[in-house]
Structures are given as C-alpha cells and as structure tokens.
Structure 1
Amino acid sequence: MTALPLPSPLVDADWLAAHLDHPDLVVLDAGVGAHRDAPARIPGARPFDLDGALSDHASDLPHTMPSPADLQRELRALGLRARSTAVLYDGAGVYSAPRAWWMLRAAGFDRAAVLDGGLPAWRAAGHPVTDRRLPCEPGDFTVRPRPGLLLDRDAVAAALTDPGTAVLDARSHERFTGAAPEPRPHLRRGHLPGSTGLPFTELLGPDGRYLPLPELRARLAAATAGRPHLIASCGSGVTACVLAFAAHLTGHPSPAVYDGSWSDWGRPETGLPVRTGP
C-alpha cells in the first residue's frame, strides 16, 4: 500500500474518518491542561503529551521544544515512522494541536495535518469516540531539525528592531495591553515592545474551526501591515502556533514561533523592556 497522502495540512473530520483504518495513519491527541489525555478520544489516538514528555525537562519554561534526542525517543514511542501520516487534534477545537504540528515540522516531519475543529468537530460529525488506548509498535522516524522555525529570546529581540518583521502576539487583547493579569502570576503584564496583538481566537469561527483562507489572509495581512517576515508569540509558545500554522496555510514563506514566548520574556529577572496599553 502506498503512503497516505494528505489533501492539505488542515483536514476535516470526514476525511479522517474515511482513512482511520489506514495502516500508515497515526492519530495524536495533543490536548493540554484540562483537555490533556481526556478519556474520550478518537479511536486509535495516542497522547502527544505537550505538558509532559514532549516538553524540555531541562528548561524552567513550559512547553518548550525538547532536545532532538528526547523528541526522537518520544515520537518513536508513539509509533511515528518515516512513512507515517500524522493527524493531530485537541479537545478544545483548535488550540494546542497546531503546536504539535509545528514541532513535527521543526523536527523534519512533513506528512502531518491538523484536524480542523478537533475533537468537538469529530463528535459533531457523528463519529465515534472511545476510552480505550491501544498499544503500538515503536516507530523509526529520525529527527532532522530545521532551524528558524522556533526562535529564542535573542533572535526575537533582534527581530523587534527589524522593520521588515512583524511580531504577532496570540494572547487576548486584555493580556496584551496588561489590563488583565497573567495566568502565571510571577510574570509581568504587557507585551513585547513593537509587537502587534492578534488573539488566536480571531482566526477561528464560532464553530472553533479556522476561518476560510481569504479571511485568514486578510486578518494576517492587516496585522503584519505588509511586513514580509512573521514571528508569532503567546503565553508559552502554544497558541502562537495557531497563528503560525494559519500563516503557513495561506502561503507565507517563513513564519516562525518564539519558543517560550511571554513565559520567557515576561519574567522580571530578564530585565527586558515591556510595554502596556494598546
């Protein structure tokens, strides 16, 4: 049997249901927080643990990218093979699955897609869920890191002075302006100087799915104001990937994500400048 091709990096529930029994398909549940490893899951789904095994345990920042060796070990434990096709979803709709997709891309894995609308869309389409977890054979995927997709603090600081780069913040407007406190109470309020607020929810429709491509293009174009380079940030590098994935869908040549995001920049001990207000 030939490898399972993807129609797009974004697939719907009916496409996934039609291919659920394909031997090369790996379905990964990338839920975080309250949605992490929920009892109800798509049949055959395996846990892509962004809160635990698939974050860097050597870092004091949440959700940062593991080392290539650690990432490869965990992906092989999930059964990911060089010929696999992976579909990633989360229990919130579109929230953390794009982060898992971005990590796979940064690891050199290209045959991956996000389930549009996640588990809610799957259930709304009438497809079954289960509380069973099936064992899987170890995979053979080899991580080949791609530089430039996940950026550190120094790279982002340099980009903030570049007139050709737009740094977009996926947090809520209230967190961006500093009107609302951060959920991590040790962090300062506000945003990166020179960044632009674009809450990730503004790229999603009322059903929790991505907006149509023309609307995504329009909203990203308004936020970037014609600047050709895009870096996405958020609270810890998770919902930033909702923006970066949307940019990828619309054909942006090189979106990047600030790994660590405000959990890194907003720490008082960094001494980095912070802005409040719009």
Structure 2
Amino acid sequence: MTKPIVSAAWLFSNLEDPNLIILDASFKENQSNVKTDLKNIQIKGTRFFDIKNTFSDTSNPLPNTIPSPEQFELEARKLGINKNSSLIIYDNLGIYSSPRAWWLFKLMGHQNVTVLDGGLPEWISQKFPVEAIPENPNYSIGNFEAEFIPELVKSKEQILENVHTKDAVLIDARAENRFRGNGAERRTGLRSGHIPGSINVPYTQFLQNGKFLPKEELVKVMKTDSRPLIFTCGSGVTACIDLIAYELIGKNPKSVYDGSWTEWGQIGNLSIEK
C-alpha cells in the first residue's frame, strides 16, 4: 500500500488486516477557521496522532515545526506503531491536516502510509462503524524506527537560494488573497504577500466535498513543469494537501518548506512580492 489516498470502502474492507493502524490527525482548531461537529467520535479502533503537541517541535516558536527523528520515533512507538505497520490517516474535516501527518511519516522514512480520502465525514456518510473517542487509551509499545529523509524538507536558506536559481517550482497553497497580499495576515507580526517567484495553487482547488478531485480534474488545476516541486503555505500544513494532489499525478521530486510563510513573512530582510 503505497498510493497517497484510499477510499472509505477500501479501508472498511481491510479493517481486519493485523498490521493496519488507523490514525486521527485532526486539529482542535485551525487557521482557516473551518468548523466540524465531529469532534467526539472516531473510526472504530483509531489512535490519535497529535500533530500540534506531540509530533511537532513545541520548543520552536514557529507552529507545526517538524520534530526530531528521535522524538518522532519515541512518540510513534507509544502509539503502538511498528516498522511493518500499514498506516491510514484521516481527519474530521475530510482533507485538511491528515496530509501533514502523511508527509511526516514519509519524511521519517515510513512508506506504508496513506490518507483516507474524505476522512471522517466520508466514513460516516458510508455508515461505517464509529465510536466515542476513549479517554487515556494504552497501547503496546511499537518498534517503529525513524529514518529521516532530508531531501523531503526545505529550509529558508534553501528557499532563498532557489529564489535566485529557480531550480525548483515553489507552489504556495494559501488562498489567493493572502498570496496577493490583500489585507493583513492572521498571525501578528507577519508581512503580507508571497515568496518571490512562487506560484499560487490554493489547496481548496484540489478538493470537492472534502475529497480530492478525480485525476482528470486535478490536471486542469495544476501549474507545473518538469522541475522539482517545493510546497509552502502558512505553516506547512495545507502545503501537504497540494503535495498529495501533485503526487497523484506527477513524478517530480517533491518537498515542503516547513517554516512556510510564518517564517518567511516575519523576517524583514527577506524579499516579498505582492
């Protein structure tokens, strides 16, 4: 199982796989202010993958910064994740934060991971089994091993270099008004605009009713060429939605600028465009 997304029907038919682990990567709140009324239920047997507090470097002032491989490995083991685990990741908004969790596992060298297309809303619409979210669950410690793949993530120094070389295409997943710099940013202290030379492909253009568009529709939205692709957004979350959309179509090398606009926009000596 190496494809980026699977359907709810596929997951339901594979629930008895002994190596299968389902992870809920939902956020309690998000910068896009997207709401859900599915906060207290989960797919039966799910384990909570806490991006904000457990699978981020909370000592870093930037939000959602990737954790160290050592931290990731430890916390994944606490969830009972093994080297041979088949991971299915979803969130309660359909497609929002689950691609970030998918990318983190890819970054840490775990290939057997995929996103549930449509997430919890799609699962419920198919009338598949759910349960109340349990308090303080315990799992047997897993043997997961992190093998960090550095080429999947980019630093601001690498982005600055690419501004000059244009060796890769920088794709910004934010809404068009933010990309254009129309109005103030939500986070205090951030300038408005975008990284010079980047192109805007809002993540919402790849989704319909919380699911990825069919491949023939994805192609119509995409802007790309044969160069490597670097994805950015506000804080490195929705960039991963764009990344999966391009992964469904093309074979270009792909990476994420982890600091994204929250880092670039607050550093006064880095150039911006509007």
Deviations 1:156-210 (A, max 9, x none): 11112233421111000011111132221221111111111110000112x2111
Query: Within the alignment, does 1:182 sit opposite 2:177 as a pair?
Result: no
**What is the CA-CA distance between 1:270 and the residue it aligns to?**
4.3
Tell me how far apart the structure 1 counterparts of residues 45 and 216 of structure 2 sit (CA, whole Å).
Answer: 34
**What is the CA-CA distance between 1:127 and the residue it aligns to?**
1.2
The answer to whether the 8 Å contact 1:164/1:227 transfers is no
Aligned alpha-carbon RMSD (Å): 1.8
Per the alignment, in what secondary structure is the counterpart of residue 42 of structure 2? coil
**What is the CA-CA distance between 1:58 and the residue it aligns to?**
2.7
Further displaced range: 189-198 or 130-139 = 130-139
Pairs within 5 Å for 1:95-110:
95-110=96-111
Tell me how far apart the structure 1 counterparts of residues 90 and 268 of structure 2 sit (CA, whole Å).
Answer: 34
Equivalent in the alignment of 1:210: 212
Tell me how far apart the structure 2 counterparts of residues 164 and 59 of structure 1 sit (CA, whole Å).
Answer: 29
Percent identity between the aligned chains?
Answer: 38
**Stretches of 4+ aligned residues off by more than 3 angstroms:** none
Equivalent in the alignment of 1:271: 269
Tell me how far apart the structure 1 counterparts of residues 268 and 107 of structure 2 sit (CA, whole Å).
Answer: 27
Tell me how far apart the structure 1 counterparts of residues 151 and 221 of structure 2 sit (CA, whole Å).
Answer: 24
Per the alignment, in what secondary structure is the counterpart of residue 122 of structure 1? helix
Tell me how far apart the structure 2 counterparts of residues 163 and 54 of structure 1 sit (CA, whole Å).
Answer: 31
How many residues are treated as equivalent by the alignment?
266
Equivalent in the alignment of 2:25: 30
Per the alignment, in what secondary structure is the counterpart of residue 176 of structure 1? helix
Equivalent in the alignment of 1:247: 246
Equivalent in the alignment of 1:158: 161
Equivalent in the alignment of 1:173: 176
Query: Within the alignment, does 1:230 sit opposite 2:229 as a pair?
Result: yes
For structure 2, the residue ranges without an aligned partner over 5 or more in a row are 30-35
Give the letter for the 1:69 counterpart.
E
Per the alignment, in what secondary structure is the counterpart of residue 56 of structure 2? coil
Pairs within 5 Å for 1:125-140:
125-133=126-134, 134-140=137-143
Equivalent in the alignment of 2:32: none
Equivalent in the alignment of 2:67: 66
The answer to whether the 8 Å contact 1:91/1:120 transfers is yes
Equivalent in the alignment of 1:90: 91
Deviations 1:42-82 (A, max 9, x none): 11111111111110123111001100110101111111101
Query: Within the alignment, does 1:14 sit opposite 2:15 as a pair?
Result: no
Further displaced range: 158-167 or 136-145 = 158-167
Deviations 1:138-161 (A, max 9, x none): 110110011111111011111122
Tell me how far apart the structure 1 counterparts of residues 2 and 146 of structure 2 sit (CA, whole Å).
Answer: 24
Equivalent in the alignment of 1:259: 258
**What is the CA-CA distance between 1:22 and the residue it aligns to?**
2.1
Equivalent in the alignment of 1:193: 196
Query: Within the alignment, does 1:42 sit opposite 2:37 as a pair?
Result: no
